[in-house]
Amino acid sequence: MSGQSLGRKSLPVQLAERLEKDIHEGVWTDTLPGYRTLSAHYQVSEGTSKRAIQLLEQQGVIGPPEQGKNRKISRKARSSVEKMRLLIITDATFPLDKFDEKLLNDISVFWLHRGKSSADVDRVSGDLARYQHPAKLLSQWVHQHSATHLLFYGPPAPWIKAVIELGLPCYYLGGELGYAEFKNRVFPGSSQSWDLTLRDLLQRLRGMGHKHLLIPFDYGKRGFQKSVQATLYEIYQDRLSRAACEASVPVFQDFSPDSWQRNWEKEFMLRRPTCVVASNSFTVLSLYVFCARNNIKLGKDLSLICMQSDDILDWHDPRPTYLEYPYAKSLQDFKSWVRRGFPQRAHTYVKMVWNEGDTLTSI
Fold of 84-187: Rossmann fold (3.40.50)
Question: What confidence score (pLDDT) does residue 82 get?
Answer: 61
Domain boundaries, the chain: 11-79, 84-187, 194-324
Rounded distance between C-alpha atoms, residue 86 and residue 210, angstroms = 47
Question: What confidence score (pLDDT) does residue 199 get?
Answer: 93
Question: What confidence score (pLDDT) does residue 309 get?
Answer: 87
Rounded distance between C-alpha atoms, residue 228 and residue 194, angstroms = 10
| Alpha-carbon separation of residue 351 from 137, 191, 192, 288, 331 (angstroms) | 33, 9, 6, 27, 15
Q: Give the DSSP H or E segment for 135.
A: helix 135-145
Question: What confidence score (pLDDT) does residue 5 get?
Answer: 39
Rounded distance between C-alpha atoms, residue 241 and residue 249, angstroms = 13
Shortest CA distance to 176 belongs to which of 338, 139, 185, 281? 185
Low-confidence ranges of the chain (pLDDT < 70): 1-8, 77-82, 115-117, 175-184, 219-223
User: 11-79: what CATH class?
Assistant: mainly alpha
Question: Can you give the pTM of this predicted structure?
Answer: 0.68
Contact 138, 166 (CB under 8 A): yes
Query: Do the domains spanning 84-187 and 194-324 agree at the CATH topology level?
Result: yes
Fold of 194-324: Rossmann fold (3.40.50)
How many other C-beta atoms are found inside a 10 Å radius of the C-beta of residue 67?
4
Collect all residues with Cβ–Cβ distance below 8 Å to 331 and sequence separation of at least 6. Answer: 103, 106, 107, 110
Question: What confidence score (pLDDT) does residue 21 get?
Answer: 82
| Alpha-carbon separation of residue 134 from 88, 126, 139 (angstroms) | 16, 11, 9
Question: What confidence score (pLDDT) does residue 262 get?
Answer: 94
